Amino acid sequence: MSDPIIRFDNVVKRFGDHTVLDRLNFTVNRGEKVTIIGPSGSGKSTVLRILMTLEGIEGGVVHVGGEPLWHEADGVTPASEAHLRKKRGEMGMVFQQFNLFPHMTVLRNITEAPVRVLGLPKAEAKARAEELLELVGLTEHMSKFPHQLSGGQQQRVAIARALAMRPSILLFDEPTSALDPELVGEVLGVIRRLAEEHDLTMLLVTHEMRFAREVSDRVVFFDQGRIREEGAPEEIFTDPTEERTREFLKATLEA
């Protein structure tokens, strides 16, 4: 049974002369938890950023929820802003650097978009924010500013902020890479709970191999803008077929 909610068809992405994604084909099924691993510079972030429309593409088609983000006629033709807004509304993104709004309280960070974009009444947005803060274990920090929180706490707020928009797809770009080692666990804990308790589709870029192995339905190994290997976590981590995958895993585990 496959019901792709994300589909990359021959997607080409270039920065100048540098081809980052070369005819990438890649799908994620509804409700699936997929982890992307791979060396730095292999195009992992680019995949997420294209989905979130933070980057455009030079060729191919990216489908989200069964509809293309941009249409391909001759080259890639831009979709209307209204269409992109609708598509972005189906996704939430958690950034490596959190990207919380530093001048807004935790509560305001979470309620700003639901109020301004979804048009929720303030009281309802606040109630929802409180629920989400409870989920990420930060209820008592509601009226603090981001700089008063640890990195791990900030990232948990960022997760709550993304969830407040009720996305069906959640994108994580190395959510724990900017954290001190002792703070990684609390963030992974929250993501793990989301993965286990919600039917969200999750696409996660991470270097936390043990975590990837535990939470993902499928692991995708990226190398130089292509998928070198993909499969169930046990296969990839215990018995990869590709030499590159082996080397990468060996190097990562030694680090």
Partner 1 sequence: MLFGFEWDLSSPLAFALSILPMLGTGMLVTIQAAVLGFALALVLGLVWAVLKSAPLRVIAWPAAVVTEFLRDTPLLVQLFFLYYVLPEYGIVLPAFMTGALALGLQYSAYTAEVYRAGLQAVPRGQHEAALALNLPPTRKFTHIVIPQAVPRIVPAMGNYLVSIMKDVPVLSVVTVLEMLNVARIIGDRTFDYLIPLSMVGAIYLIMTLVASAGVRALDTYLPKEGIPLK
Ligand X SMILES: Nc1ncnc2c1ncn2[C@@H]1O[C@H](COP(=O)(O)OP(=O)(O)O)[C@@H](O)[C@H]1O
Binding interface with partner 1 (CB under 8 A): 52-54, 85, 88-89, 91-93, 95, 97, 99-104, 112-113, 116-117, 145-148, 161-162, 165
Q: Where are the beta strands (DSSP E) in 16-124?
A: 18-29, 33-37, 59-64, 67-68, 71-72, 76-77, 91-94
Question: HSE-up of 190 (CA within 13 Å, CB side)?
Answer: 25
Q: Of 36-44, 72-80, 103-111, 146-154, which segment contacts ligand X by CB under 6 A?
A: 36-44
Return the number of the residue (79 or 104) whose C-beta is nearest partner 1: 104
Q: Which of 35, 45, 154, 216 binds Mg ion (CB under 5 A)?
A: 45
Check if the beta carbon of residue 180 is closer than 8 Å to that of residue 224.
no
Return the number of the residue (33 or 88) whose C-beta is nearest partner 1: 88
Q: Using only the alpha carbons of the chain, give its radius of gyration.
A: 18
Check if the beta carbon of residue 249 is closer than 8 Å to that of residue 240.
yes
Q: Which of 11, 20, 160, 187 binds ligand X (CB under 6 A)?
A: 20
**Taking CB under 5 A as the rule, does residue 46 contact Mg ion?**
no
Check if the beta carbon of residue 164 is closer than 8 Å to that of residue 113.
yes
Return the number of the residue (54 or 117) whose C-beta is nearest ligand X: 54
46-65 positions binding ligand X, by CB under 6 A:
46
Sign of CA dihedral 10, 17, 221, 99: negative
Q: Which spans of this chain sit near ligand X (rule: CB under 6 A)?
A: 15, 20, 38, 40-46
Q: Which spans of this chain sit near Mg ion (rule: CB under 5 A)?
A: 45
